[in-house]
Amino acid sequence: MNFISRGFRGRRRDWEGYPTRLPPGQYVTDDFPVLSAGPTPHTPLEQWTFSVVDGDDRKTWSWEEFRALPSETVTVDVHCVTRWSKLDTTWEGVSIDTLLEQVESDAPYVLAFCDGGYTTNLPREDVSGGKAWVAFDYDGEPLEPEHGGPARLLVPHLYFWKSAKWVRGLELREEDGPGFWETYGYHLYGDPWREQRYAGD
């Protein structure tokens, strides 16, 4: 027999949108939950860099150089593995296609690395073709530190743990290997539409 708390609904709101907008097992939230595995880093912009590492080659942008790159504004839905989804979120960022433009190798995987030591792995294909950004603005304002500012990865078609906060670079790799959460049991790929939350799903 399953116990039910009389009168408890939780903070999810009823949502009668198109059912195809919500992946299985998700609910819509109005707020923007802050999830973190560690303290919020505060790297000063004068020290901030973004790097693309390809074997021995390393291409690095300072904050000024990074902000001088072409950027775009996108409105996307994001889906967290903890089951909340936030619809129509607006971001401004540099497309990862732009950052990977000069990469010579055709290494098929990337590992995003971040301040504080967080990492996450992705297939290169999933951060290419206009599917991913390094985002620096959210909702028209500079991205706040607790939400990953000054810049985070944005890969909306995968679970939001792949949109690594405080990202500092991408390392090209020949093999796919687990990043932080993937090491502790989360799915290597993380497609919310196939509900790939955990390794083995």
Partner 1 sequence: MEALDGNAIAGLLHDVFDAEMTSATGVCGSCGASRQVAELVVYVRAPGTVARCRSCGSVLIVVAEVRGIKCVDLSGLASLEPPTAASDVD
Partner 2 sequence: MARAAVRGRLSWQIASVDAVAEETPRVRTIVLEVPAWLGHRAGQHLDVRLTAADGYRAERSYSIASAPDEPVAITVERLEDGEVSPYLTEELRVGDALELRGPVGGYFVWGPEDRSPLLLVAGGSGIVPLRAILRHRRRSGADVPVRLLYSSRSLEDVIYRAELDELADGVEVIQTLTREQPPGWTGYTRRVDAELLGEVAWPVDENPLAFVCGPTSFVETVADGLVGLGYPAVRVKTERFGPTGGR
List residues near partner 2 by CB under 8 A: 2-12, 27, 31
Please tell me whether residue 12 binds partner 1 under the rule CB under 8 A: no
Q: Give the x/- contact pattern for partner 1 in 57-96, rule: CB under 8 A.
A: -----------------------xxx--------------
166 binds partner 1 (CB under 8 A): no
Q: With CA atoms as reference, report the closest residue to 159 among 84, 75, 72, 74.
A: 84
Give the helix/strand (H/E) hosting 95. Answer: strand 84-95
Q: Are strands 119-123 and 109-114 parallel, antiparallel or unpaired?
A: antiparallel
184 binds, among partner 2, partner 1, none (CB under 5 to 8 A by kind): partner 1
Token representation of residue 90 = 């607006």
What CA dihedral angle connects 108, 41, 137 and 195, to 10 degrees?
A: 50
**Smallest gap, in angstroms, from Cβ of residue 180 to partner 2?**
22
Contact (CB, 8 A) for 164 and 174? no
> Given the complex with partner 1, which of 60 and 82 has the nearer CB atom?
82
8 vs 18, beta carbon nearer partner 2: 8
Residue 1 binds which one of partner 2, partner 1, none, with CB within 5 to 8 A depending on kind? none
- The answer to whether residue 42 forms part of the interface with partner 1 (CB under 8 A) is no
Residue 48 touches which of partner 1, partner 2, none (Cβ within 5-8 Å per kind): none
Give the tokens for residue 34.
């802050």
User: Would you state the torsion angle of the CA atoms of residues 73, 47, 145, 193, taken in this order, to the nearest 10 degrees?
Assistant: 50
- With binding defined as CB under 8 A, does residue 37 bind partner 1? yes
Are the C-beta atoms of residues 50 and 153 closer than 8 Å to each other? no
By CB under 8 A, name the binding residues for partner 1. Answer: 33-40, 80-82, 146, 161, 181, 184-186, 198-201
